[in-house]
Amino acid sequence: MVDSPTPKPNHADLAPPSLAHFSPSLPFAVALSGGADSCALLLACVRRWPTQVRAVHVHHGLQVAADDFAAHCQILCDLWSVPLVITRVHAHAASGESPEDAARLARYQAYAQVLQTHWGGTVQDIALAQHADDQVETVLLALTRGAGLPGLSAMPALAARGGLRIHRPWLDVPSQQLRDWLLQEGVTWIEDPTNQDQRYTRNRIRHQLLPALDKAFPSFRQTFGRSARHAAQAQLVLDDMALIDLQRIGVPPRLLPLQQLSAPRQANVLRAWLQQRQVACSTAQLDQLLHQIDACRTRGHQIDIKVGEGFVRRVEDHIDWYN
């Protein structure tokens, strides 16, 4: 736990981080981990919308400190008169899935269940405390994985998922600003010990790359955030184009009109089609599929290629995916 220092003489008061662009439906919930970022978000929201805020804490049970996090959340919510629900999850990573991804998926599922079960569906909005540093880390992670526009778009300020409206009102606010404000307000938080473990890529980015970027490019948080927004806008255009092309080539896709599109548009529309089928397609698989489609110029040419957990096959004048 972080203890608040005695305020220095002539200390200039820090304004609370702005919630000017955050307009949730009331009442709403805050995802409260017990860390600095979520504690700051809860306090700011309680002051902005007294009596309208709820809190949800997800207890992962993955480390010894988990009970301390839950206890601290309860202390703060009792102090600020915020209804709190603590829910336990067991996030087991599937084969090939990272523990972080498994935990994140479990959290989202827990949020949806809590809002429906405990507040009868009257609460549909939840605010998450991800900030500008988190956004930069997400962009850099996407770059290390060779991600396309969806990955480079990073985290949206507003999204719908599992019946929830998910808000991230502080994607342009640096982490240190939140901590400085909490210290001024005399609010304590719990430090997650795993945040220091540099076996995790995100932690290496946080502890090694961000300080170097801060020194070389002091405004990198703003510029990376702007690039993520540009990527998200470009992806929306591609999504619209994919819908237009799907109407033209049909579902399942007919080969001749598909071949009449440029290769980039073929890739774009095939991704959209496979996503509609909830098929995860790797870049290598998509490249091989495009090659097969280009070569398929005679009636006798067959396509039978593994894509995701199934196969894309030619059937007469079109292709389809089979599990």
pLDDT tens, position by position, 38-59: 999 999 999 999 999 999 999 8
Global confidence as pTM:
0.88
Q: How confident is the model at residue 219 (pLDDT cuts 50, 70, 90)?
A: very high
Sign of the alpha-carbon torsion through 234, 250, 281, 164: positive
Q: What local confidence, expressed as pLDDT, does residue 23 receive?
A: 95
Going by their DSSP bridges, the two strands 310-315 and 304-307 should be labelled as: antiparallel
Q: What local confidence, expressed as pLDDT, does residue 9 receive?
A: 31
- Written as one letter, the residue type at 106 is A
The residue extents of the domains of the chain are 28-218, 250-322
Q: What is the pLDDT of residues 94-150, one digit of tens each?
A: 666 666 777 788 888 999 999 989 988 889 999 999 999 999 999 999 999 999 999
Q: What's the CATH class of domain 250-322?
A: mainly alpha
28-218 topology per CATH: Rossmann fold (3.40.50)
User: Residue 252: is the preceding peptide bond cis (ω within 30°)?
Assistant: yes
Q: What is the pLDDT of residues 287-323, one digit of tens each?
A: 999 999 999 989 889 999 999 999 999 999 999 999 9
Average pLDDT, the chain: 91
Q: How far apart are CA 31 and CA 123, in angstroms?
A: 13
**All residues at 6 or more sequence positions from 161 whose CB lies less than 8 Å from its CB, including other chains:** 108, 112
Q: What is the pLDDT of residues 290-299, one digit of tens each?
A: 999 999 989 8
Q: What local confidence, expressed as pLDDT, does residue 2 receive?
A: 47
Q: What local confidence, expressed as pLDDT, does residue 4 receive?
A: 40
Q: What local confidence, expressed as pLDDT, does residue 270 receive?
A: 98
Q: How far apart are CA 263 and CA 268, in angstroms?
A: 9
